[in-house]
Structure 1
Amino acid sequence: MILEMRTYQIQAGKAPEFLKIYQANGLHIITRYARLIGCWTKESGVLNSVVFLWAYDDFAHRSAQRTKMAQDAEWVAFVPTILPYLVHQESVFLNPVGFSPIQ
């Protein structure tokens, strides 16, 4: 398994609105393609940030799923609704070590 830690820096004060829109209109779409492990807001570091942790079988699975999602008309229509909230986006890929509770 590979985990993708995707961090969105949101315009100051807009994280609650972003999360409401994401949950209501986007979450049911993206979870067709990736397994949500968790979602958090940050209280330290770069503030006004939302962190998602997504699971895939491996990097090839992630690439294939992202390709499918990019062709999903519902997802394509959703993305422009969240773009105005974003300041910065970052993806970090995490591979579990042998003793990690999440494999």
Structure 2
Amino acid sequence: MKEKECTCPIFRALEKQGLRWNPETEEIETKRWRAKEFERYYFVDNVFGIFSHREVFDSTDDGLWNSGNYFRTEDEARKYVNEFKRMLQERTLDKEE
């Protein structure tokens, strides 16, 4: 299916609009996943803790989703926690040249 998606004009058109076809649900959806109402999602807090929240489409949910700090699973969030830590520990922008 992946190969077809890359070559079929309809899938390329969807991609340009930030959309994709989900063969499991048989629906067109945004490329970035967002939970349905009351479905659980995960996010990383300011000290790298992982928390879950139920989607209610309020300003907190919107802010986390818009920032990209919004994950389908705890495992996915954990991968990003490790990457965030690595990036901050190796940061160079604040070092004097």
Q: Same fold (TM over 0.5)?
A: no
RCO higher in 1 or 2 (8 Å CA, sep ≥ 6)?
1
**Quick check: which has more Rg, 1 or 2?**
2
Higher strand proportion, which one? Answer: 1
